[in-house]
Structure 1
Amino acid sequence: MALSRRGGTGLVHVDGHTDFRHPGNSDKCASVAGEDLAAAVGLHWPAVADIDGLGPYFDRQRVVHIGHREDDEEATEARATLGLVISAASAIEKTPDEVGSATRDVASAGYWLQIDVDVLDASIMPAVDSPDPGGLNTSQLTALLAQLAPGAIGASVTVFDPDLDPDGRYARLVTDVLLRGLSELGKDL
Structure 2
Amino acid sequence: MIAIVSAPTNLGLRPPVPGAVPGTAKAPEALREAGLHHVLLRRGAVEAGVVLPGRYVDDPGRPVGTLRNQDAIVEHARRLAPRLVELRRGGHAPLVLGGDCSLVVAAGLAARVSGGGGLVHVDGHTDFRNPGNSAAIGALAGEDLAAAIGRHLPEIADIDGLGPYFDPAATAHVGCRRDDDFLEEVTAAIALTIPADQIILHGGARAASRILDSPGLERGFWLQVDVDVLDPEHMPAVDSPDPGGLTPDELIAFLRLAAPRAWGASVTVLDPDLDPDGTHARTVATVIAEGLDRLGEEAEQPED
TM-score (norm 1): 0.97
Aligned length: 189
Q: Give the aligned partner of residue 48 of structure 1.
A: 156
Q: Give the aligned partner of residue 224 of structure 2.
A: 114
Structure 2 residue identity aligned to 1:16: G
Segments of 5+ residues of structure 2 without an aligned counterpart are: 1-108, 300-304
User: Displacement of 1:93 after TM fit?
Assistant: 1.4
Post-superposition CA distance 1:83-138 (Å, at most 9, x none): 00010001221232321121012222421000000000011100000001100001
Q: Give the aligned partner of residue 237 of structure 2.
A: 127
Structure 2 residue identity aligned to 1:153: W
Q: Give the aligned partner of residue 73 of structure 1.
A: 181
Structure 2 residue identity aligned to 1:111: F
User: Displacement of 1:9 after TM fit?
Assistant: 1.1
Contact preservation (8 Å) 2:128, 2:186:
yes
Distance (whole Å) between structure 2 residues aligned to residue 97 and residue 119 of structure 1: 16
Structure 2 residue identity aligned to 1:135: G
Same amino acid, percent of matched pairs:
55
Partner residue of 2:284 out of 157, 174, 186: 174
Distance (whole Å) between structure 1 residues aligned to residue 115 and residue 164 of structure 2: 11
Structure 1 residue identity aligned to 2:200: I
The RMSD of aligned alpha carbons is 1.0
Q: Give the aligned partner of residue 56 of structure 2.
A: none
Contact preservation (8 Å) 2:116, 2:263:
no
TM-score (norm 2): 0.61
After TM superposition, what 4+ stretches of structure 1 lie above 6 angstroms from structure 2? Answer: none
Partner residue of 2:255 out of 135, 140, 145: 145
Q: Give the aligned partner of residue 25 of structure 1.
A: 133
Question: If you compute each CA radius of gyration, which structure gives the higher value, 1 or 2?
Answer: 2
Contact preservation (8 Å) 1:22, 1:29:
yes
SS in 1 for 2:213: helix
Contact preservation (8 Å) 1:109, 1:152:
no
SS in 2 for 1:139: helix
Question: Bigger shift: 115-124 or 105-114?
Answer: 105-114
SS in 2 for 1:114: strand
Post-superposition CA distance 1:4-46 (Å, at most 9, x none): 1223511000000000110000000000011000000000000
Distance (whole Å) between structure 2 residues aligned to residue 113 and residue 8 of structure 1: 11
Q: Give the aligned partner of residue 64 of structure 1.
A: 172
SS in 2 for 1:68: coil
Distance (whole Å) between structure 2 residues aligned to residue 173 and residue 26 of structure 1: 34
Q: Give the aligned partner of residue 159 of structure 1.
A: 269
Distance (whole Å) between structure 1 residues aligned to residue 150 and residue 163 of structure 2: 6
Partner residue of 1:38 out of 146, 151, 156: 146
The answer to whether residue 118 in structure 2 is matched with residue 10 in structure 1 is yes
Contact preservation (8 Å) 2:116, 2:222:
no
Distance change (3 Å), C-alpha of 1:9 and 1:165: same
Segments of 5+ residues of structure 1 without an aligned counterpart are: none
